[in-house]
Structure 1
Amino acid sequence: MIYFDFAATTPLDAEAAEVFLQASTEFFGNSSSLHDFGGQSQDLLENCREELANLLGINKKGLYFTSGGSEGNFLAIEALLSAPKKAGKHIIAGMAEHSSIHGILDRLEGYSITYLPLNSSGLIDIEELANAITPDTVLVIVQHVNSEIGTIQPLEDIARICREHDIHFHSDFVQSFGKIELKKITPLVSSFSFSGHKIYGPKGVGGVYVDPAISWRAFFPGGSHERGFRPGTVNVPAIASMTAVAQKIHDQLVQCHGHFLQLRATLMESLNPIKDSVVVFEAAPDSQLPSIIGLRISGVEGQWMMLECNRYGFAISTGSACQIGMQAPAKVTQALGLSPQEAKEFIRISFGKTTKMEDVVKLGETIVDIVMKFKL
């Protein structure tokens, strides 16, 4: 079986696994305990916080560790809503946001939500965003990189509009963390979330940054961990492992980007025999993460294609793993304005640093073969 679903999750890096094991056995003390074992764990935790803060270009006082991206999104949005810049009950969010964002917004009471679609390039229309703002708008939520088609949203423009109107801005960085240099972007947002398992770190760990200038109120009162940001014993071994792999992958950003560009071009070339049936959802190269390819093949249901590829030994997907269990079309298909039938045809192919060129060619040839046989 050859893996092409790196946007869903990644295998644990061998060095990250060693760090996790060492921290679990040698730094097992509760980081909140006052004895020496706790102090050693606390020192490791704070060292990780400082290292990640330096990597991201942020103030470490605003960095909090969580169980992952979904929890991070929840806590960040609740924190921002607890300390708005002005009075109001209006929120603007991307229609193609991760399912965790939709879940958070669905449970809010008393707020009106405006959902913005994507244009034909898979990007938020800046003019449409500006027009959606009202005097009551207190929060804008737009993910940095779409997890299903890999488009990179214009956060600089969005942040500028938010500053001009005294609006908090939260962005989901789960798909951009460890894949794009973020130091120029992080100062522009009020908060962002990230996750370890998308970058070859362990599952069940991530983080949130909230601008330290924001005087948020804790959603879970009485918590003593992470300065009250969340309850629960801090998972120091997983944090250490995530930090180690984040440092490692950051040094490989340029190399990986070039590799992914080649893989993407190779896959597109291998699909040439059925190019009239293939629709790729993508932006211009400078606004596109090359490792994620979202597409549909006219007349072929995505779930059937995914199962056929699986039968031939290739693991692809039909969108975010966080909503596949609900049998719902990928959020991005609605945001792009696809018909229900077109939405069912959506598939996602995503590369990782271990993806080989010859395997990409084999996948392309297999997809072509499946389509040819299907349309006979």
Structure 2
Amino acid sequence: MIYFDFAATTPLDPEAAEVFVQASTEFFGNSSSLHDFGGQSQDLLENCREELANLLGVNKKGLYFTSGGSEGNFLAIEALLSAPKKNGKHIIAGMAEHSSIHGVLNRLEGYSITYLPLNSSGLIDIEELKRAITPQTILVAVQHVNSEIGTIQPIEEIAGICREHDIHLHSDFVQSFGKIDLKKIAPLVSSFSFSGHKIYGPKGVGGVYVDPAISWSAFFPGGSHERGFRPGTVNVPAIASMTAAAQKLTSQLVQSCDRFLELRTILVQSLDPIKNFVHIYQAAPDSQLPSIIGLRISEIEGQWMMLECNRYGFAISTGSACQIGMQAPAKVTQALGLSPQEAKEFIRISFGKTTKREDVVKLGETIVDIVKKFKL
């Protein structure tokens, strides 16, 4: 079985795994305990906080560790809503946001929410965003990189618009963390979330940055961990492992991008025999994460194509793993304005560190064979 679903999750890096085991056995004390064992764990925790803050170009005082991206999105939005820059009850969000964003927004009472679609290139229309802003708008939530099609939203430009109107900006950095240099844009947002298992770190760990200038109120009252941001004993071994994985992946950004661009080109070329049936949803190269390819094949349901590929030894997906078991199509297909039938045809292929050229060629040839057998 050859894995092409790295946008869903990644294998734990061996070096990160070693860090996890070492931290679990040698730094097992509760980081909030006052004895020496707790102090050692606390020192390691703060070292990780500082290292990640340096990688992201932010103040470590605003960095909090969570159980992952979904919890991070929830807590970040709740924190921003507890300390708005002005009075108001209007929120703007991307229609293609991760399900955790939709989840927290759907539970809010008394707020009006405007959802922005994506244009044909998979990007939010900046002019449409400007038109959606009202004097009551207090929060904009736009993910940096879409997990289904890999398009990169212009967060720097959006952040500037939000500053002009005294609006908080939250951005989901889960798909861009470790894959794009975030130092320029991370300090521009009010908050962002990230996750460990997308970057060859362990599952069940992630983080949130909230601008230290924001005087937020805790969603869970009475918590003593992470300066009250969330309750529960801090998972220091997983945080240390995630930090090691982030350092390693960030050091390879340029080489990885070049390699993924090559692999993307190879896959697209391999699909040339069925190009009349293939529809790839993507932006211009400077607004596209090359490792994620979202596409549909006319008249072939994505779930059937995924199962056929699995039968031939290739693991692809029909979108975000968080949506499995739901009957509704991936949010990105709605944001792109696809019909219900077209939405059912959507599949996602994503590359990772271990993806080989020859495997990409084999996958492309397999998809072509499947389509030809189906169409004939």
Q: What letter matches 2:316 in structure 1? A: I
Partner of 2:60: 60
Give how far 1:353 is off. Answer: 1.1
Give how far 1:327 is off. Answer: 2.8
Partner of 1:108: 108
C-alpha distance in structure 1 between counterparts of 2:196 and 2:289, whole Å: 18
Q: Per the alignment, in what secondary structure is the counterpart of residue 88 of structure 2? A: coil
RMSD: 0.4
Partner of 1:373: 373
Partner of 2:216: 216
Partner of 1:137: 137
Partner of 1:244: 244
Give how far 1:328 is off. Answer: 2.1
CA deviations over 1:262-319 (Å, ceiling 9, x no partner): 0000000000000000000000000000000000000100000000000000000000
Q: Per the alignment, in what secondary structure is the counterpart of residue 197 of structure 1? A: coil
Q: Does 1:22 align with 2:22?
A: yes
Following superposition of structure 1 onto structure 2, how do residues 169-318 of structure 1 map, counting pairs within 5 Å? 169-318=169-318
Deviating more after overlay: 80-89 vs 317-326: 317-326
C-alpha distance in structure 2 between counterparts of 1:250 and 1:29, whole Å: 29
Q: What TM-score, normalized to structure 1?
A: 1.00
Kindly report structure 1 stretches of 4+ aligned residues shifted beyond 6 Å.
none
Count of aligned residue pairs for this structure pair: 376
C-alpha distance in structure 2 between counterparts of 1:351 and 1:372, whole Å: 24
Deviating more after overlay: 319-328 vs 208-217: 319-328
C-alpha distance in structure 1 between counterparts of 2:333 and 2:184, whole Å: 30
Partner of 1:3: 3
Deviating more after overlay: 167-176 vs 316-325: 316-325
Q: What letter matches 1:261 in structure 2? A: L
Deviating more after overlay: 320-329 vs 84-93: 320-329
Partner of 2:92: 92
Identity percentage over the alignment? Answer: 89
CA deviations over 1:67-106 (Å, ceiling 9, x no partner): 0000000000000000000000000000000000000000
C-alpha distance in structure 1 between counterparts of 2:327 and 2:256, whole Å: 32
Give how far 1:14 is off. Answer: 0.1
Q: Per the alignment, in what secondary structure is the counterpart of residue 199 of structure 1? A: coil
C-alpha distance in structure 2 between counterparts of 1:3 and 1:247, whole Å: 24
Following superposition of structure 1 onto structure 2, how do residues 11-50 of structure 1 map, counting pairs within 5 Å? 11-50=11-50
C-alpha distance in structure 2 between counterparts of 1:241 and 1:152, whole Å: 27
Q: Does 1:360 align with 2:360?
A: yes
Tell me, which stretches of 5 or more residues in structure 1 are unaligned?
none
Partner of 2:330: 330
C-alpha distance in structure 1 between counterparts of 2:181 and 2:53, whole Å: 13
Q: What TM-score, normalized to structure 2?
A: 1.00
C-alpha distance in structure 2 between counterparts of 1:139 and 1:324, whole Å: 29
Q: What letter matches 1:121 in structure 2? A: S
C-alpha distance in structure 2 between counterparts of 1:150 and 1:188, whole Å: 21
Q: Per the alignment, in what secondary structure is the counterpart of residue 348 of structure 1? A: strand
Q: What letter matches 1:114 in structure 2? A: T
